[in-house]
Amino acid sequence: MSYSILHVITTIDLGGAERQLLTLATCQREKGFDVEVVFLKDKPTLLKDFLEVGVKVDSSFAGLGFLKQVLKLKQRKSQENLVVHAHLPRAELLCALSLRQESFIVTRHNSEAFFPRGSAKLSKLLSRFVLKRAFASISISKAVADYLKKTGEMSNLESNHIIYYGLKNTSVSQKEKTGVQSRPTQLGTVSRLVPQKNLPLLLSALKELNSVNSSSFKLAVMGTGPLEKELLSIAIGLGVEKTVTWKGQSKDTLSFYHSLDVFVLPSDYEGFGLVLLEAMSQGIPIVARRISAIPEVIGELHPGLVNSDKPIDLANKIRQIFGNKEILKQCLKYQAMRLQEFSIDRTQLAHECLYSSLLGQRK
């Protein structure tokens, strides 16, 4: 069936949802679909990347007030063979208010309230309104779906599909790490500097790691966010500021991953954790908390999972993973196996089936 795809998303900045949309849209173009992206606000960091793979981008909505965006989307010429796919709350609400009922699909990318700045009651009301208007909803993990149902933001009767994120290349592209070495062990994470990511836990674990051998571990953090000054202050208070490098935001994540010995994700929750797939694809052993969607992605039997939010436990797991050659080899072998589950072709096909159902119902 021939059809076009219109993705409506709040931003095309460097977040996980935005980068995954770029990967999905690229795959959809390679399969021969006509693909366009509408974004609603903020700087279009990924604009050039979308255009380079043949995805059209409508920048005319950015900068408009929400009501004007509603009117503008209403005025777009209706196409019989057009699938509209909304990502992130503002874009979802826009489509729900602008389009006919059951004429679009939404993806829930986060285990978060739909409207976190409002009351729980208002957030639940808006979330259910959008889902009732949509033809179907997608959750990027079972953890997201469970969160939505537990909080009441999704009815237990709601039709919901689990479609995981995917990578274009699921083979490990870097040689395996060999373990014990003379230089300091380089830890790293890619993270927004927000409370959800619990970077104070990682900073405290770094202090524990260096409490025996001074500066035997170093940490690099790639990302920006509202907690930047607070995290700098915490690092100073813990006495680890000289062993932490704040990289800021960058599109060049590949060279960053190549510099790491261990990737650490101390988050309190994750909708999916695209960075986990990226680290696995570069042959970087992962240490992360057994919480939310993390074990869904890296596997319940992953040796780097930590069952606690205590800095000493996180530090001990890092020592265990990178300090023992046999465990390190097991970790990397397990990650390479898990990575095969997350092909973008599989992700794209699952979307294609859902799109065909929408168009079949329309006809």
100, 75 in Cβ contact below 8 A?
Answer: no
180 within domain boundaries: no
Tokens 């060279």 belong to which residue? Answer: 255
Same domain? For 214 and 355 the reply is no
Same domain? For 69 and 190 the reply is no
Q: How many domains does the chain contain in total?
A: 2
170, 342 in Cβ contact below 8 A?
Answer: yes
177 within domain boundaries: no
Across the range 70-82, mean pLDDT stands at 89
205, 230 in Cβ contact below 8 A?
Answer: no
Same domain? For 328 and 351 the reply is no
173 within domain boundaries: no
Same domain? For 58 and 72 the reply is yes
Same domain? For 116 and 23 the reply is yes
How far is residue 330's CA from residue 321's CA, in Å, rounded to a whole number? 9
- Amino acid at position 280, single letter: M
Lowest mean pLDDT among 85-94, 134-143, 176-185, 342-351: 176-185
Same domain? For 101 and 133 the reply is yes
178 within domain boundaries: no
192 within domain boundaries: yes
Same domain? For 244 and 211 the reply is yes
Same domain? For 266 and 349 the reply is no
Same domain? For 193 and 120 the reply is no
How many Cβ atoms sit within 10 Å of the Cβ of residue 336? Answer: 16
Question: Residue 182 — very low, low, confident or very high, per pLDDT cuts 50/70/90?
Answer: low
Structure tokens at 211: 């409490």
Q: Flag whether pLDDT at 363 surpasses 70.
A: no
- Give residue-wise pLDDT tens across range 151-174: 999 987 777 999 999 999 999 985
Same domain? For 43 and 58 the reply is yes
How far is residue 268's CA from residue 115's CA, in Å, rounded to a whole number? 19
Greater confidence (63 vs 94) lies with: 94
Q: Which domain holds residue 113?
A: 4-166+343-362
